[in-house]
A and B are shown apart, each in its own frame.
Chain A
Amino acid sequence: MGTAAHGSNSNVNYLNEFKGIKSWLLSLDHKRIGLMYMISILTFFFVGGIMALLIRYELFAPGKQLLSPDQYNQVMTYHGAMMVFMVIVPGIPAILGNFFLPLQIGAADVAFPKLNLASWYVFMFGAAIAISTFFSTKVDTGWTFYTPYSIKTGTAVVAMVLAAFVMGMSSILTGLNFIVTVHKLRAPGMTMFKVPLFVWAIYSTAILQVIATPVLAITLLLLAAERLFGVGVFDPALGGDPVLFQHFFWFYSHPAVYIMILPAMGIVSELISAFSHKVIFGYKAIAYSSLGIAAVSFIVWGHHMFVSGQSEIAGVLFSFLTMLVGVPTAIKMFNWLATLYRGSVTFYSPMLYALGFLFLFAIGGVTGIMLASMGVDVHFHDTYFVVAHFHYVMVGGTLMALMGGFYYWFPKMFGKMVDDRLARMTFVLIFIGFNVTFFPQFILGAMGMPRRYFDYIAPYESLNKISTMGSWLIASGFLLSLYAMIKALKSGEKAPSNPWGAKTLEWQTSSPPPHFNFDKKPTVTGGPYDY
């Protein structure tokens, strides 16, 4: 494996060129900012993961195990809010997008490096506000802040909403930066149809971030205004409409699902092509389907509100429109499968994660179509079926791809190889653990077990026990990953510039790359997957 290195042979790289904490906190280098995002987001992921384990432990058996009902509501709220706003929404764009978008288009940095650093500070400021609420009156609304409860509860809703507002600001700044970078900084010869598909995915995501996030900001401000000044937008007693909150909230939060999953799809495109050693099947179809998903995602939000009291006509319309999402998604699926066909497939850990993604995301997607049919959703709404569905999409989709991306790009980021035997073991643990945790929840949901409840009745016990044990498997898989990566940093083999024999530009510079990415500005003649 491995092709000749075109990068520099000197040992000066972005990691060791400057030293000291200030050289990190004030760095304008997109790679260092990506790593700062990585450390913060992985920390939040660790905390959010502990909350998940607490939730599962509490549900190990009927009755109280560890948490009181109020504490359970709080832990569930913080698990959801942290995992959504602080891990999965920023995750892939801010870490891997920051690091590899400029590298993949042959640029020295993003278009606005200072704005890039600023968005990290804004993000951390928002995160600090969110965490601070944990030490005052803990929020217990769930991550969706539904009215009228969020107006009435005596907890720190305003602070939490402000935190999401500030982190949304960071998300907008990052998206803006990436859009301009893709338009203005591509290497000579790299037309829009020669950029890697990860770049297309990040680009589509950036458009969503810029267009959808302001609506979340306005919604959350209205909620704060209602709580602080009694403005009657959502409270029926003041002439408001509580379902209006759900409209506004899901206008952002459904596209946000694609802010979470589109970058993951971009990673999967890279991995499938690289480890099949074959040009991606249907490049343009995959690129356009990213834009298609982004566009359709704006007209489907009412599928979260079938039983909210929304009108039947709106419900039928949203049900129909939601089915449309299946089209561009299936286009991607079939193109990935067609890429595998007759490729010379190698099963290194990143590829295992990519294949895991295909399998789990297919289940997440198809159950999504089930829930999109209004008649079915009336029964499944607010049951564990929905919980299982979106964890198959968010964890089985986004987190699987994120892990695959980490293992794929780790040699480039740190110049060290991960022990792939260990890495494959992490995949086995996480993949099996994930299915053991969440597949039973489909059955529990079909049996009628409601979500978000602290307690349940005896018939649900055995499946809940299995689910909780699965969560321990997932946790051990992530811990093993942490160990494998720390071990690689300490004593890993030195990585060549292109360990996987991939064709995109980031593999043409040394591992780790120099401060400005390329010693000589690359000129592009062929496509990103010319195997």
Chain B
Amino acid sequence: MSQHHVIPFKTYMKVAAALVALTFLTVICHELHLGPLAGPVAFLIAAVKAALVLLYFMHLKYDNMQNRVIFGSGLIFLLLLIGFSALDIWTRVQSMSTL
């Protein structure tokens, strides 16, 4: 079957260290009180962390195209969820909404 790529232990440790560092970065950003940017910045850091986990711990970086496409299709559903929910919130007419 497919060739199994073995990731060196050192790489794992580096990724783990990066994840810890990014966690601290999240805390620091929170302490800076970025106002309206606080949410986007926190999400950006979280997305980088998730990408690291996916690429290295879940081996997506070394995987074949088929599995990457299947994973990507999961993101489409995430976009649907966030997209439609955001559409609702952005298009509410505040003066008429019961909310």
Which A positions have Cβ atoms within 8 angstroms of B? 211, 215, 236, 241-244, 247-248, 251, 298-299, 301-302, 309-314, 317-318
Q: Write out the residue numbers on chain A whose beta carbons fall within 8 Å of the beta carbon of B84.
A: 247, 299, 301-302, 314, 317-318
**Closest chain B CB from A205 CB (angstroms):** 16
| CB<8 Å pairs between A and B, sample of 24 | A211-B77, A215-B81, A241-B89, A241-B99, A242-B99, A243-B88, A244-B85, A244-B89, A247-B84, A247-B88, A248-B81, A248-B85, A251-B80, A298-B80, A299-B80, A302-B84, A302-B88, A309-B99, A310-B88, A310-B92, A311-B88, A311-B91, A311-B92, A317-B84
Given A215-B81, A309-B98, A311-B87, output 15 extra A-B contacts at Cβ < 8 Å.
Answer: A242-B99, A244-B89, A247-B88, A251-B81, A302-B84, A302-B88, A309-B92, A310-B88, A310-B92, A311-B90, A311-B91, A311-B93, A312-B93, A313-B91, A314-B91
> Which residues of B46-99 are within 8 A (CB) of A?
74, 77, 80-81, 84-85, 87-93, 97-99
> In the complex the two chains form, is B87's CB within 8 Å of A314's CB?
yes
Q: Which of A211, A251, A313, A317 contacts B74 (CB 8 A)?
A: A211
**Closest chain A CB from B10 CB (angstroms):** 31
- Of the listed residues B74, B92, B93, the one surrounded by the most CB atoms of chain A closer than 10 A to its CB is B92
Known interface pairs A248-B81, A299-B80; A309-B97 also in contact (CB < 8 Å): yes
Known interface pairs A247-B84, A309-B98, A313-B87; A298-B92 also in contact (CB < 8 Å): no
Q: Say what secondary structure dominates the interface of chain A.
A: helix
Q: Tell me how many residue pairs across A and B have CB atoms closer than 8 Å.
A: 51
- Of the listed residues B77, B88, B91, B92, the one surrounded by the most CB atoms of chain A closer than 10 A to its CB is B88
Which B positions have Cβ atoms within 8 angstroms of A? 74, 77, 80-81, 84-85, 87-93, 97-99
Instruction: For B73, give the chain A residue with the smallest CB separation.
Output: A211
Instruction: For A207, give the chain B residue with the smallest CB separation.
Output: B73
Q: Write out the residue numbers on chain A whose beta carbons fall within 8 Å of the beta carbon of B89.
A: 241, 244, 311
**CA gap between A522 and B54 in the complex, in Å:** 40
Instruction: For B92, give the chain A residue with the smallest CB separation.
Output: A311
**Closest chain A CB from B73 CB (angstroms):** 8
**CA gap between A247 and B87 in the complex, in Å:** 11
**CA gap between A247 and B92 in the complex, in Å:** 14
**CA gap between A309 and B88 in the complex, in Å:** 9
**Closest chain A CB from B1 CB (angstroms):** 11
Q: Write out the residue numbers on chain B whose beta carbons fall within 8 Å of the beta carbon of A317.
A: 84, 87
> In the complex the two chains form, is B97's CB within 8 Å of A311's CB?
yes
Q: Write out the residue numbers on chain A whose beta carbons fall within 8 Å of the beta carbon of B88.
A: 243, 247, 302, 310-311, 314
Q: Write out the residue numbers on chain B whose beta carbons fall within 8 Å of the beta carbon of A251.
A: 80-81
**CA gap between A45 and B80 in the complex, in Å:** 34
**Closest chain A CB from B58 CB (angstroms):** 15
**CA gap between A326 and B91 in the complex, in Å:** 27
